[in-house]
A and B are shown apart, each in its own frame.
Chain A
Amino acid sequence: MPTTAPAAQDPAQDSARDPETGPAHGLHGLHALADVTASDSTLRRFLHGLPGVDTVGLEARAASLGTRSIKTTAKAYALDLAISMVDLTTLEGADTPGKVRALGAKAVRPDPTDRTAPAAAAVCVYPDMVPTAKAAVAGSAVQVASVATAFPAGRASRAVKLADVQEAVAAGADEVDMVIDRGAFLAGHYLKVYDEITAVREVCGTSARLKVIFETGELSTYDNIRRASWLGMLAGADFIKTSTGKVAVNATPANTLLMLEAVRDFRAQTGVQVGVKPAGGIRTAKDAVKFLVLVNETAGEDWLDNHWFRFGASSLLNDLLMQRQKLATGRYSGPDYVTVD
C-alpha cells in the first residue's frame, strides 16, 4: 500500500472529467472502478455487492478499542492532535458576524494562556458567514469550511444546491461540507446521489476540498453507511463525514470505525486516500482520544493528520484545552479558564 496518495491531494486532477470514465483521478485503480458508475444498475450491483456489516461485531470492536488506556506522553500527543483536527463549528439560525469572529479567533489561538496549543483545523459556518470567517482567520493556517447544498436537510432542487455551493466557493470557502440527498439514497437512486456529488465536486473545482455528509443517523443501517461511503468516494469526495449534528444520532464510534474501514479499503483498491470526519456528539477529550485510537488501529497512522481526519464539534475544543492544561500543570482548571465563544 502506498504511504501517501499524492494524486488525491492534487485538486487539479480531481476536477478534470473524462465523459466516458467518470472522474479522472489519473490512477489506474479508479479506472478499474469506472464501469461501476456507468449506470444506475451497475452502481447498485456494486454497492450491494460490498461485504455486509454485522452490527453486533462492529459495535463490539468499536467498544473494545474504546478500552485502550491512553496516558502521559500518548495522551499529550493525542490531545494536541485532536485540537489540530477540530472543525470548530457554529451552524445556528442565530449566528451573527460577532459570533463567527469570536469563533475564528478561538480557532486561530484556542488557548490564550498557552501559545504552544495548536490551532484548530477550520471553522465551519453557513455560506453567508464565509466572508466574515475568512476575515477572522486571515493570515493563519486555519481553513474556512462552509456547509452547503441546502444543509442540513438537503431538500432543494439541484440548481439551488449548486448555487449554494457556488456562493460558498466564491466567498472563499476552502472546504465545502455538502449533504447527500438521503431521500434519493434510501429510494435506491444511487446514481442520482452520485451525479449530485460529482456536480458539487465540479463547482468546488480546484479551490475547495469536498466533504460529503451522509447523515448516518438517517441512513440507519451499517450496510447503508458502508454503501454511502463507497458512493461518496467513487464520486470524488475528499472527506466522508458522518452527520450534520442536527439529528438524534450523529457520530458514534461504530459508524466512524466503519467509515475508517471504507477509506482504508478504498485506498488499498484505488490508491486514493480519502479523509474521515465524525461530526456531532463528540463532546469530551476522552471521547476524542477514543476516536483517534480507532483511526490509529483501523485506517492507520497515515490518517493521523488534520488533512485526513477531522472532528466536527463546538464544545469539544474547550474540554480538550482543559485536559491539556491539566496534563501540563497537574491540576484541573475549570470552565472559567478557557474561553466561552
Chain B
Amino acid sequence: MASVFEYAPAPESRSVVDIAPSYGLFIDGEFTDAADGKVFKTVAPATEEVLSEVAEAGEADVDRAVRAARKAFEKWSALPGTERAKYLFRIARIIQERSRELAVLETLDNGKPIRETRDADLPLVAAHFFYYAGWADKLDHAGFGASPRPLGVAGQVIPWNFPLLMLAWKIAPALATGNTVVLKPAETTPLSALFFADICRQAGLPGGVVNIVTGDGRAGAALTAHPDVNKVAFTGSTAVGKQIARTVAGTRKKLTLELGGKGANIVFDDAPIDQAVEGIVNGIFFNQGQVCCAGSRLLVQESIHDELLDSLKRRLTTLRLGDPLDKNTDIGAINSAEQLARITALADQGEAEGADRWSPSCELPSSGYWFAPTLFTNVTQAHTVARDEIFGPVLSVLTFRTPDEAVAKANNTPYGLSAGIWTEKGSRILAVANKLRAGVIWSNTFNKFDPTSPFGGYKESGFGREGGRHGLEAYLDV
C-alpha cells in the first residue's frame, strides 16, 4: 500500500543478543547435554531461520532435574524470606538491565513484534519478579496463617505465546514462597528460558533452585508424572490440560491449570466507540491473537453493528504486518507452521460454514509463518469460529439486542477465562460483570495485565490463580 507518509524500515539491532549455536539443559546450576545426546532445532518463525540447537530432555534428564530441585529445596526453603527476596530482587534488576537483549531474543524466537516484547512482555516480567520479591518476607501476612509452608518441588510447563512472561508467572511466586522448580519451556520457544537460566547464575541463585529442561510434550509429560514433584502448574491448551489432570489425579500433587479461552468482548451502544475499536484490536490482534484470554468473540449491540464494523475495518487497514524486529510492526509472525495450519483450517471452516470473511489488504512475507488479520461477520453461536479457540488473529463478530442476551451469549461457551465490557454506564459494567462467568473481566479496556491482579479461569479454562496475593496460594501448603 503506497502512502505519502511511508515509514522507512526501523529495525531493532540483532547484535544486542548473542545466541549460541547450541544449548544444554540447565540442571543443578550447570548446562549439560541430554543423557541420550538428543537435540532439536529452534527456528525464527518470521524467517524460518534456525536460531540454535537445544538439548532434548528425556525421562532420565527430567529425573535428574527433579532430584536436583529436591536436593536444593531443603536449604532454599529454610532461608529467611528476606534472603529469598534478595535473590528475586536481583533477578528482577538483571532482567531490567538485560531487557533490550531479552526483547530481541523473544521476538526472534517467538515471532511477536519488538514493540510488544519491549513495551509489554519485558516490563511485565520484571514487574512480576519485583512484586513477588516483595511478598517473600511477608507470607505471614498473606492471609494463610502464620509461617505458611512451601510445597516442595514444582514441575512447571509453559506455552510459547509469552515464553518469558509465563516463566515469570510460574517461577516468581514459586521461589518467593520457598519452593524449587523444574520448568519446561515450549518446544518452539526454549531460548528465553535458557537465557533466564544464565540470569539465575548471574544472580548467584544456588544450584538446583531453578532447573530448565527443554524438550517436547514427552518431557512435559515426564515432568508432570514424576513421583517426586509436589506441585504441577501448567499453562497451555485445554486438551493437554485434561491429560495432565488425569495424570495427577489420585496423587498428592497440587495442581493449577491455566488453559484456553474464547473471550467475549461486549460492546454496548453507549460505548466510547473509538476506544472500543482500539480495545477490540488489542483484544484479538495483540500477539497475533495467540493469547489465551484473547477477546476472540466480539459481541456488539445490533443498533451500532454497522457503525462499529466500519470503524473497526478502517482501523484494521492501518495495522502494519511484517518484520517483527521493525519497531513499527503491529502484527508479527505466527509462532509455528503447526499453529498456522490450525488457524488456517479453522478460518476455512468458518468460511465453509457460511460466515463472511474479511481481511484488510496486506502483503504477507514470502518466508515464515504469517496470517492476515481476519474478521468474520454474520457469525452465530452455532459456528465453529464462535465456539472453538482459534488462537490466532481471527475475530468472530456476533450481535445481541439486550444486556441479558449479551450475558447469555458470552457465557455460552465451555471456556471462562476473560471478558470485556464496553459502556459509559458504570452501573451496567457492575451488573453485567457480576453475571459473566469469566476469571478476568475488563471494563473499557482489554488485555491489561499487572502482577498485583490475579489471573485464571472458570470451567474448561482451568483453575487456580496466578498473580496477586491469590497467586501465592498455589505454591503454599494451605
> Which single member of B5, B6, B119, B271 contacts A51 (CB below 8 Å)?
B271
Contacts of A67 in B (CB 8 A): 115, 119, 327
Q: CA–CA, A154 to B278, complex, Å?
A: 36
Contacts of A57 in B (CB 8 A): 272, 274-276, 278-279, 444-445
Closest partner residue, chain A, to B326 (CB atom): A69
Chain A: interface residue count, which band? 20 to 34
Determine if B249 is an interface residue (Cβ-Cβ < 8 Å). Answer: no
Determine if A70 is an interface residue (Cβ-Cβ < 8 Å). Answer: yes
Q: CA–CA, A73 to B5, complex, Å?
A: 10
Q: CA–CA, A62 to B327, complex, Å?
A: 16
Q: CA–CA, A297 to B328, complex, Å?
A: 12
0/1 interface trace, chain B 345-367, chain A, CB 8 Å (1 if under): 00000000000000000000000
B278 touching A60 by the CB < 8 A rule?
yes
Q: Which 7 A-B pairs have the closest CB atoms?
A: A57-B275, A69-B10, A69-B327, A54-B275, A54-B272, A52-B424, A74-B8
Q: CA–CA, A74 to B10, complex, Å?
A: 10
0/1 interface trace, chain B 1-19, chain A, CB 8 Å (1 if under): 0011111111000000000
A52 touching B272 by the CB < 8 A rule?
yes
Q: Which positions 396-447 of chain B face chain A at CB distance < 8 Å? A: 424, 444-445
Closest partner residue, chain A, to B423 (CB atom): A52
Q: What are 25 contact pairs spanning A and B, CB under 8 A?
A: A51-B270, A51-B271, A51-B272, A51-B273, A52-B424, A53-B272, A54-B444, A54-B445, A56-B275, A57-B444, A58-B274, A58-B275, A60-B278, A61-B275, A68-B328, A69-B7, A69-B327, A69-B328, A70-B7, A73-B8, A74-B6, A75-B8, A77-B6, A78-B5, A81-B5
Closest partner residue, chain A, to B422 (CB atom): A54
Q: CA–CA, A301 to B424, complex, Å?
A: 31
0/1 interface trace, chain A 39-74, chain B, CB 8 Å (1 if under): 000000000000111101110110000011111111
Contacts of B275 in A (CB 8 A): 53-54, 56-58, 61
Determine if B318 is an interface residue (Cβ-Cβ < 8 Å). Answer: yes
Contacts of B271 in A (CB 8 A): 51-52
Contacts A67-B327, A71-B10: A77 and B5 contacting too (C-beta < 8 A)?
A: yes
Contacts A52-B424, A56-B444, A71-B10: A301 and B274 contacting too (C-beta < 8 A)?
A: no
Shortest CB-to-CB span from B453 to chain A, Å, is 15
Contacts of A301 in B (CB 8 A): 3-5
Closest partner residue, chain B, to A76 (CB atom): B8
B445 touching A72 by the CB < 8 A rule?
no
Contacts of B444 in A (CB 8 A): 54, 56-57
Determine if A296 is an interface residue (Cβ-Cβ < 8 Å). Answer: yes
0/1 interface trace, chain B 262-295, chain A, CB 8 Å (1 if under): 0000000011111110110000000000000000
Q: CA–CA, A71 to B326, complex, Å?
A: 11
Q: CA–CA, A261 to B318, complex, Å?
A: 14
A61 touching B278 by the CB < 8 A rule?
yes
Q: CA–CA, A187 to B278, complex, Å?
A: 32
B6 touching A297 by the CB < 8 A rule?
no
Determine if A292 is an interface residue (Cβ-Cβ < 8 Å). Answer: yes
Contacts of A78 in B (CB 8 A): 5
Determine if A117 is an interface residue (Cβ-Cβ < 8 Å). Answer: no
B445 touching A52 by the CB < 8 A rule?
no
Q: Which positions 297-333 of chain B face chain A at CB distance < 8 Å? A: 318, 327-328
0/1 interface trace, chain B 104-148, chain A, CB 8 Å (1 if under): 000000000001000100000000000000000000000000000
Q: CA–CA, A176 to B272, complex, Å?
A: 33
Contacts of B270 in A (CB 8 A): 51-52
Contacts of B272 in A (CB 8 A): 51-54, 57
B7 touching A68 by the CB < 8 A rule?
yes
Q: CA–CA, A58 to B10, complex, Å?
A: 25
Determine if A304 is an interface residue (Cβ-Cβ < 8 Å). Answer: yes
Q: CA–CA, A71 to B7, complex, Å?
A: 7
Closest partner residue, chain B, to A292 (CB atom): B5
Shortest CB-to-CB span from A290 to chain B, Å, is 13
Contacts of B327 in A (CB 8 A): 67-69
